[in-house]
Structure 1
Amino acid sequence: MSFSPARLLRAISVSVAVAALTAATVYIVSGLLFPVKGVRVTGNHVVSDGEVRAQIPDHSSLLTLNSGLLIRRLKTDPWIEGVKVIRNWRSGIVTVEVEERRAVLAANVSGRRIFVAQDGTRLPGSGGARLSPVNLDHYELGRVVENVRVLERNGVRVQEIGGVTPGGVHARVSGREVVFYGRVTTAQARALKEIMRRNPTAKVFDLRSPERVVVGSSGDAGRG
């Protein structure tokens, strides 16, 4: 049995119409039965609640809300590092848990002020962080950023790069000073985390010796 082009076209048109009608029905029914009644935003300090809520269309449904698309859209903002979307089927509330990046470095590079997060992402501002600007060239900036990444990946939370001198880079970690120069290794970063835990009253931790962590006092930092 053969179909003429006209009959085949009609069959395709009917199939498309049925699919469209089905999709519309699902959308309407899901919106009536499982409407998004509110959006709760947590974890944000720089990004506003309104910026997050604006990514969820009006009259959205819990059933058809595309969490993956929402997460991808929100993560285009350089401040947003991670997002988790939680639906509450009883209340109709969608909770968006935001993890923001932290500005840890304000660098003057070739006449420009650059703000950098703990993972190396360039940020549009300080996000309210009180950072002391340091003067760096492009090579020094890359080296400092990579060392901060190594520390962060190994559980050492960097709060600020507070100074760069011929004697080294001075970082603030949990209110204490960490000094490094050149390349910080993974082994050093892991050792630093454990040594800081074991020495809660020590003020300075020196990573300038290869593969070593030296515990010192505030006078041992060698800022000159």
Structure 2
Amino acid sequence: MAAATTLIVVLVTYLSFPVTGVRVEGASMYPKYEAASAIPDHASLLTLNAVMLQRRVESNPWVQGAEVNENWKSGIVTIEVEERRPVLNAEVEGRRFVLSSDGKELPGLGGAGLERVELDRDQVGEILEFARALHESGLRLDSVGEVGAGGIGATVEGRQVIFSRDVGERRAMALKHIMPEHPDARVFDLRSPERVVVGPSRAKHSEPRG
């Protein structure tokens, strides 16, 4: 009798609010079938564990964040995915790997045309600290390119930047405000302590900015 009652409850739950479909938005590298396979057959919106589903999606290295939304009228579960972007194609002591701006190792380049650069462990740390400072200042690190004794070259919001050692949030914030003021500048140099040096644009000379 108890088993029959349980079966009836499950059946009524499913018939009342069945999951009719799964939609994944914002994904290019994350396999959409993984989201669908995470939801059992004959699932109901009433019993769907959205938090567990979100965590399962976020366990994929390509996914930086996910949000699960349920439409109680249509029965469709929508998963909005924010993907990580490769910014560094590195080789350290013979080991090759690809990193996102938050330091997560990715399975590959994901179609990004990043040239491989040889680094030491300290340089990897500098790059990750630089990416963190940019993120907290509202800037996006696009890629890391040339690395040498003179500094580390990077692309930030589509603009060329060169830096070394600890940049810090103060200079990252200064960079954020200075870049729009100099749309023609070839490069922004963060190697000098406590200032941003705006590189030449056409015939103009560089000028330091604090």
Q: TM-score, normalised by structure 1?
A: 0.84
Give the secondary-structure state (helix, strand or coil) at the position aligned to 1:155. Answer: coil
Shift of 1:103: 0.5
Structure 2 partner of 1:43? 26
Partner Cα distance (2:172, 2:101) in 1: 15
Q: Does 1:141 align with 2:130?
A: no
2:196 to 213, 216, 221: 213
Structure 2 partner of 1:58? 41
Give the secondary-structure state (helix, strand or coil) at the position aligned to 1:159. Answer: strand
Structure 1 partner of 2:13? 30
Shift of 1:24: 5.0
Gap regions ≥5 residues in structure 1 = 1-16
Relative to 1, partners in 2 of residues 1:176 and 1:46: Cα closer, same or farther, differing over 3 Å? same
Runs of 4+ deviating beyond 3 Å: 20-27, 218-221
Shift of 1:25: 4.5
1:192 to 170, 175, 178: 175
Answer whether contact 1:27 1:64 (CA < 8 A) is retained: no
Q: Does 1:72 align with 2:55?
A: yes
Bigger mean CA offset, 92-101 vs 136-145: 136-145
Identity %: 50
Give the secondary-structure state (helix, strand or coil) at the position aligned to 1:27. Answer: helix
Q: Per residue, is there more helix in 1 or in 2? A: 1
Partner Cα distance (1:21, 1:153) in 2: 56
Structure 2 partner of 1:127? 110
Answer whether contact 1:31 1:60 (CA < 8 A) is retained: yes
Partner Cα distance (1:121, 1:76) in 2: 12
Q: Larger radius of gyration, structure 1 or 2?
A: 1
Partner Cα distance (1:105, 1:25) in 2: 55
Partner Cα distance (1:23, 1:217) in 2: 75
Answer whether contact 1:161 1:170 (CA < 8 A) is retained: yes
Gap regions ≥5 residues in structure 2 = none
Answer whether contact 1:154 1:190 (CA < 8 A) is retained: yes
Relative to 1, partners in 2 of residues 1:196 and 1:26: Cα closer, same or farther, differing over 3 Å? farther
Structure 2 partner of 1:88? 71
RMSD: 2.1
Answer whether contact 1:178 1:207 (CA < 8 A) is retained: yes
Bigger mean CA offset, 148-157 vs 39-48: 148-157
Relative to 1, partners in 2 of residues 1:65 and 1:163: Cα closer, same or farther, differing over 3 Å? same
Answer whether contact 2:184 2:201 (CA < 8 A) is retained: no
Shift of 1:95: 0.7
The amino acid across from 2:37 in the alignment is A
